[in-house]
Structure 1
Amino acid sequence: MSTAEVARPEPLPDFLGFTTLDREVTIDRLPVTGRIPEWLTGTLVRNGPAKFEVDDYRLTHWFNGLAMLHSFAFTEGQVSYANKYLRGQSYEAEVNDGQLYGKQFGMDPCKRLFGRHFAEYSPNLSDNTNVNLTRIANRYFAFNEQPRYLEFDPTTLDTVGELEFDGQIAGETSTPHPHFDFGRRTLVNYTTTMRDRAAYQVFYVPENTLTQHRMATVEVDEPCYMHSFAMTENYVVLVEFPVVIDQEKFVQPDKSFLECFTWQPTRPARFRVVDKREGRCTAVFESEAFFAFHHVNAVEVGGDILVDIAATHTPYETVLGLAPTEDQFDLSAYGYQVRRYTLSPRGGASRIGWEQLADAGVEMPRINYRGHNTRPYRYVYGLGHSPRSIRAMNRLLKLDIVNGTHSAWYEKGCFPGEPVFVPRPGASTEDDGVVLSGVLDAKAGTSFLLVVDGSSFEELGRARVPHHIPNDFHGQFFADLHR
């Protein structure tokens, strides 16, 4: 349903989105209200933190929670559901031994870090792969912001084990948002190495292989934290926000990500352009300081590179310091905007500005990726909030960046998760399909899978889960995956 904003603030009862989920279930058929399109077949798999305690110790950052997978399978208008924890070394250490394992994102003063587990693998790398997932060579992997890859069975959600790619590129951090190059049929990502000379190592993985190949090495004096990156047909664009990483601290096993970060607002943001054809950084652009977790899209137009980003001017103390005992993002207070930065590699100018593309800011932005990533596009789906409501992402938004307007789905007491667009088979327009979102219903103490029409943005149906699903991060829809 679409509705107007409410006038009074709403409470977030008991911070349900940051409450541990202990149940693991398999349900053949969820109760459905409304209508799920019969053409919608396949499986949505989502990933995110679901356990926020180690013994009696409460974890201090949302990103530190233990990873759980959630699977929604669609067939003939019905929805089945399953959920299961990823059982890597982090899970075994924290659940069975009561020890934190590997580098945490947020600052946890509980220093029960050292034990037999660290003798088995580098203590700087965590296999709590709670951020995103993808399919490579018809195998399924979950990952976080470090170069460790946990494989799982997409039908049972059982953890298969850790994979090390052939020719795996070394590094201390990576991005949980790889791109797929549909022209070259390769997955593209990068790692940041800090043990010797700091550098971003851009690599690709050819389709149907498990081998990483180096595309380019971009050496830098000071590496920066980047959660995602931009890609066009011919370029990879690494946008360095001035959240600078202290290299000496980062390689110490007991230092969290945040203890190694420094927000330097007097330093410019830098756009490092890597030419895929030449395998090197060919241009660097600078702008005023800003921060973003997520890119929206990037397109080459008339020799320019247009980079669209869900940007904020208030990153460090607020967005990066998000504790799992507080409410979520106040996108207006943080200055969230969907911005377009125009890079002109042939123009010679290195200083760039930006333009705002819509009248609302979003987080967790998604587009019709298969049809429009690296190509001109019009619509962005994401999470927003009601300015007169609580400081939380409690609206699902559709932005029209051509008209600069937005549509919204809203229901009081409900908190949607990242929207995933699924095109209708034979779709003739960019928004012909549905948007899927897992919604936390704080009123009922449970969650439901919401299906919204991608064009009209009206609710079509919902499938209710018998328990709450904690605030998760990202998911992918696989049309050919059936359970």
Structure 2
Amino acid sequence: MLSTMSSAQLGVELAFTSLNSEVEIDDLPIEGNIPRWLKGSLFRNGPAKFETGQASYNHWFDGLAMVHRYSFRDGQIAYRNRFLRTSPYTQMMSTGQLSSGFETVQPTSLGKRILKMSLEMLGQKTGQTYNTNVNVICLADQFMALTEQPVPTVFDPITLETRGAFYFDDTLFGHLSCGHPQYDDQQQEYINYVTCFGPINTYNLYRVKATSRQRSLIARIPVRSPCYMHSFAATENFIILVEFPLVVKSLPAIFGGKAPMQCLSWEPRRGTNFRVIHKHSGDQVARFQSEACFAFHHINAYEEGNEIVVDLAASDQPDLMYKSYLKPLKSATRSKDHPLAEYRRYRLPLQKPSCKAEVGYELLSEQLIEMVCINQGRCRSRDYRYAYAVSHNRNWPTLVGQLVKIDVKNCSDQAWFEPNTYPGEPLFVAAPNGTAEDDGVILSVVLDAAKERSFLLVLHAQSFKELGRAYLPHHVPLEFHGLFVEEI
């Protein structure tokens, strides 16, 4: 049935169609050449199952998590994929019922909700796992999948089998976390935060050594109206929380049993608030305000003289969230049906007093972008020149039609484009002993609508030309984020 559709219709349909098969392949068929120096594994995470029987999730973000691993050795690629056997997955497969998620909610009694929250506040380890379909990190020698729930899911990096919930060895509590922790290379630690709802709402910023299970509180910031923040920024000395005016109404979640997305309120009159917190003292050293905007993803941030530079993939309103319902997504054959973001740079002058100062932004590219990456090992929290992203293509104006390399110093860009394809988030892997910032490769999982399969694409990061690709035996629904690690 899918094959009778037009190329554009088929592509967007497949991009949000469930993948039910789990396979293990030692050698994927290669077209072109994969650099022999590329050794290690690429882990990808994202939603891959959207329905069971007659029941179906409404929103892309609620699809059940699947982890993929691409292992590179001597120019060959091995592949394996597995669903995470989380509590929502187990419930769906055993009962045929959907579990609560980002937009979906199953009714529960007020008593059960309060009991669950009380157990969590007391540090009880319930063993419940969540639909962790957002990201992958390695912490305390364990690989884990993340979402915005504060409990990650541990999985085996070789077999991809699910090992269960991950709990920290401390009493820090929160209801809402961040799926994009920031890594501090100098201190070899992760920085993240959890939002705690209650009579006094707080952002609880913490650090945790990469080898540890115990978090240390950096700052507890009380807020009257907490905001939804999917990511945040960090420089050498500062943490920047960008409070977009997408306000979380906590009472409907706790007492009304609402899904997280149903508790969000877009209030653009509030504007956007930049909080600057010192990494070491935990003091809030400055606040800035700009016109209302929204961003899922920070690109990079760094200190430059007396300023902090914050780069975002930002829009005037949260269209990406509210236009990610599955039914309209599958029929979205025009780029305006699913708009991407602008490449914005905000400058925060630290010599200003701590009262709110107004800041604007400059555009670093004419491209509309999302899922941006940089050379993290070299440029994270530092000045940089190149970024890589998914983008629209005017000749294929539907969803994500191309990959782009953006030179932010010269405001120029290069593109990789192939008709009937839908690339996913790019990831930069540096070449060994490389000297230039863009000396390496770009990896992206690309959906080929014509062949109804996906392939792993390898681009030369400097020329942005294709080096090779490896086709999978199936399509992969559009994913979220991932991680590349050297040989395990």
* Class of the TM-score when normalised by the shorter of the 2 chains: over 0.9
Cα distance, 1:146–1:27 mapped onto 2, change above 3 Å: same
Cα distance, 1:16–1:332 mapped onto 2, change above 3 Å: closer
Deviates more, 1:56-65 or 1:326-335: 326-335
- Compute the displacement of 1:324 (Å): 1.9
Cα distance in 2, alignment partners of residues 100 and 161 from structure 1: 20
Alignment match, 2:240 = 237
How many percent identity over aligned positions? 40
Alignment match, 2:460 = 453
Matched, 1:84 2:82: yes
Alignment match, 1:198 = 201
Counterpart code for 1:398: K
Alignment match, 2:482 = 475
Cα distance in 2, alignment partners of residues 156 and 330 from structure 1: 38
- Compute the displacement of 1:168 (Å): 4.7
Counterpart code for 2:147: N
Q: Is the 8 A contact 2:11 2:448 kept in 1?
A: no
> In structure 1, the residue corresponding to 2:445 is in which secondary structure?
strand
Q: What value does the CA root-mean-square deviation take over the aligned residues? A: 2.3
- Compute the displacement of 1:113 (Å): 5.9
Matched, 1:344 2:342: no
Cα distance, 1:281–1:384 mapped onto 2, change above 3 Å: same
Cα distance, 1:389–1:319 mapped onto 2, change above 3 Å: farther
Cα distance, 1:418–1:14 mapped onto 2, change above 3 Å: closer
Alignment match, 1:93 = 91
> In structure 2, the residue corresponding to 1:174 is in which secondary structure?
coil
Counterpart code for 2:457: L
Structure 1 residues 287-436: aligned runs within 5 Å: 287-316=290-319, 319-325=321-327, 326-327=329-330, 330=335, 334=339, 336-348=341-353, 350-436=357-443
Cα distance, 1:297–1:13 mapped onto 2, change above 3 Å: closer
Cα distance, 1:25–1:251 mapped onto 2, change above 3 Å: same
Alignment match, 1:105 = 102
Matched, 1:36 2:34: yes
> In structure 2, the residue corresponding to 1:92 is in which secondary structure?
helix
- Compute the displacement of 1:277 (Å): 1.9
> In structure 1, the residue corresponding to 2:8 is in which secondary structure?
coil
Question: Unaligned regions of 5+ residues in structure 2, if any?
Answer: 1-5, 121-127
- Compute the displacement of 1:377 (Å): 0.2
Alignment match, 1:184 = 187
- Give a deviation string over 1:292-316, Cα, whole Å, max 9, x none: 0000000101021000000111314
- Compute the displacement of 1:42 (Å): 0.1
> In structure 2, the residue corresponding to 1:249 is in which secondary structure?
helix
- TM-score, normalised via structure 2 length: 0.91
Deviates more, 1:124-133 or 1:373-382: 124-133
Cα distance, 1:252–1:471 mapped onto 2, change above 3 Å: farther
- Compute the displacement of 1:166 (Å): 0.8
Counterpart code for 1:294: H
- Compute the displacement of 1:323 (Å): 1.2
Question: Unaligned regions of 5+ residues in structure 1, if any?
Answer: 1-7
- TM-score, normalised via structure 1 length: 0.92
Alignment match, 2:169 = 166
- Give a deviation string over 1:69-114, Cα, whole Å, max 9, x none: 0000000000000000000111111221223334x21256xx4667
Counterpart code for 1:345: L
Matched, 1:207 2:210: yes
> In structure 2, the residue corresponding to 1:10 is in which secondary structure?
helix
- Compute the displacement of 1:34 (Å): 0.4
> In structure 2, the residue corresponding to 1:189 is in which secondary structure?
strand
- Compute the displacement of 1:387 (Å): 3.3
Structure 1 residues 42-191: aligned runs within 5 Å: 42-102=40-100, 104-107=101-104, 111=106, 127-191=130-194
Cα distance, 1:141–1:120 mapped onto 2, change above 3 Å: farther
Cα distance in 2, alignment partners of residues 344 and 33 from structure 1: 50
Alignment match, 1:260 = 263
Cα distance in 2, alignment partners of residues 180 and 331 from structure 1: 34
- Compute the displacement of 1:49 (Å): 0.5
**Bigger fraction of residues in helix:** 2
- Compute the displacement of 1:11 (Å): 3.0
Cα distance, 1:202–1:330 mapped onto 2, change above 3 Å: farther
Matched, 1:282 2:280: no
Cα distance in 2, alignment partners of residues 254 and 407 from structure 1: 47
Cα distance in 2, alignment partners of residues 105 and 321 from structure 1: 14
